[in-house]
């Protein structure tokens, strides 16, 4: 069954949001150390979020970035076959918001929207 493996928090003011989550929840939030396009991540003010030590049933990692439009928190679900899932979206009343794309070193990613307007990221992990 697909599980949520990552979340992203858009913020109008990344420093203000970072302070809030650190103060309220004690999360560790730092500029991303991703080996991918550093200029793009810097322009987005992308930060890695760690919610604590890994434990059974808990999601411990996410990201925070400068909001570009009116997007809300997006949860990313790990799937075995992203093409199979994408093929079902429109027939079920949803929309493909961001087509499948490759993230080097991570896998395949797409963003869909459910029938209620909520965004959900799909992630097919890169084969090791």
pLDDT in tens, 27-81: 999 999 887 778 888 889 999 999 888 777 677 889 999 998 888 888 999 888 9
pLDDT band at 5 (very low <50, low <70, confident <90, very high): confident
The number of beta carbons lying within 10 Å of the beta carbon of residue 80 is 9
Whether 11 contacts 65, CB under 8 Å: yes
Q: pLDDT at position 83, please?
A: 96
pLDDT in tens, 91-117: 988 999 999 999 888 899 999 999 878
Phi, psi of 67 (to 5 degrees): -60, 135
The DSSP result for 17-62, as a single string, is HHHHHHHHH--EEEE---SS-HHHHHHHT-EEEE-SS--TT---EE
Give all domains of the chain, ordered by start, each with its CATH number. 3-125 (3.10.180.10)
């Amino acid at each position: 069954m697909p599980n949520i493996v990552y979340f992203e928090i858009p913020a109008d003011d990344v420093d203000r949001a970072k302070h809030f989550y650190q103060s309220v929840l004690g999360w560790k939030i730092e500029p991303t150390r991703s080996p991918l396009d550093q200029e793009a991540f810097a322009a987005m003010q992308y930060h890695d979020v760690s919610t604590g030590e890994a434990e059974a049933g808990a999601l411990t990692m996410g990201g925070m970035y400068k909001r570009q439009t009116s997007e809300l928190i997006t949860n990313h679900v790990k799937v075995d076959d992203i093409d199979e899932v994408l093929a079902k979206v429109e027939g079920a009343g949803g929309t493909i918001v961001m087509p499948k794309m490759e993230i080097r070193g991570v896998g395949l990613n797409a963003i869909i929207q459910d029938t209620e307007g909520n965004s959900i990221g799909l992630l097919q992990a890169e084969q090791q």
